[in-house]
Amino acid sequence: MAELFIGAIAAMVLFLLILLARSRAISVRWWQWVLSVLCLIYAVFVAEVIISFLREGTHKGAVVAGTLLGFLAVVWAVLLGRFVFRSEGKEIRHEGDLQ
């Protein structure tokens, strides 16, 4: 049952990435999409590893594997969001900023 939820969340994240890129008019190249899909697959892998450890009853293993693999997934996702899905040439201005 958990695999169904993980797959649904992964599909939803991919759909939201596509909507984000279209709404911000970001031109994403093919290799950036490949990196995005690989990151999503890796995140699903991490979730599956944690669930499999929990099903085996090794809670300590789930924490250790989840911490190590999850940290790498978070770093990859932050770098991907920072360098791939940023708005090119658009600056966000706040009302209180000086010109």
pLDDT tens for 19-78 read 988 888 888 888 888 888 898 999 999 999 999 999 999 999 999 999 999 999 999 989
The pLDDT of residue 56 is 93
Of 14-18, 22-26, 39-43, 83-87, the one with minimum mean pLDDT is 83-87
Cα separation, 33 vs 49, whole angstroms: 24
Asked whether residue 6 carries a pLDDT value surpassing 60, the answer given is yes
Residue whose tokens read 């290799």: 31
pLDDT of 97 reads 54
Coil, strand or helix: which one is 83?
helix
**CA 71 and chain centroid, separation:** 12
Work out the average pLDDT over 73-87.
Answer: 84
With CA atoms as reference, report the closest residue to 40 among 8, 77, 67: 77
Nearest to 87, CA basis, from 39, 22, 5: 22
CA–CA separation, 81 and 31 (whole Å): 14
Of 50, 52, 54, 55, whose CA–CA distance to 68 is shortest? 50
Dist CA 74 CA 57 (whole Å): 25
**Residue 81 pLDDT > 90, yes or no?**
no
